[in-house]
Chain A
């Protein structure tokens, strides 16, 4: 499992883009980068994942550096409901792998 490093907390203004960084310098070639978020008192929610290429879905965009040592999750137009703890996880997928190894994540606070 790749060790990930995230800032403890970040603030963002409502309607602006939220850019959440993650360092995963030890990630191996077959490990994906996953992002989950956890809104207070709820279970974690999958956001997006990627291997090498940048990815976009209806929730967010994931930008992975060419050397794969870091990534950025982008919420293009943050709303108050995006206030949550965001977890960046480096994890091998496939074969017999199954578990997610969560760190402490980044608490994103979206302010009105």
Chain B
């Protein structure tokens, strides 16, 4: 496996279910991210982890619970979601700082998990 992988690719869940999204990066990066992508809206940054520590929580509701056990793995635990949470959830990874030595350290994205909440 190369790059950033995400499982599952598709998920349908009821509002009372509990499920988890998984992300794994094989790039040796130290920062990992969760984004939400909804139709006709910009990518919304949800969480940032740097060296396994959460450094950004973009006012995300508590029904989304991230977990980063090590620099290669990132989870998003979901419970009691709402239909408006249906979206594409993207994971990304990068070096610990996006700018270093005047250059942009690219964020690499996974293919996403398409989540539908019924």
> Do they bind each other?
no
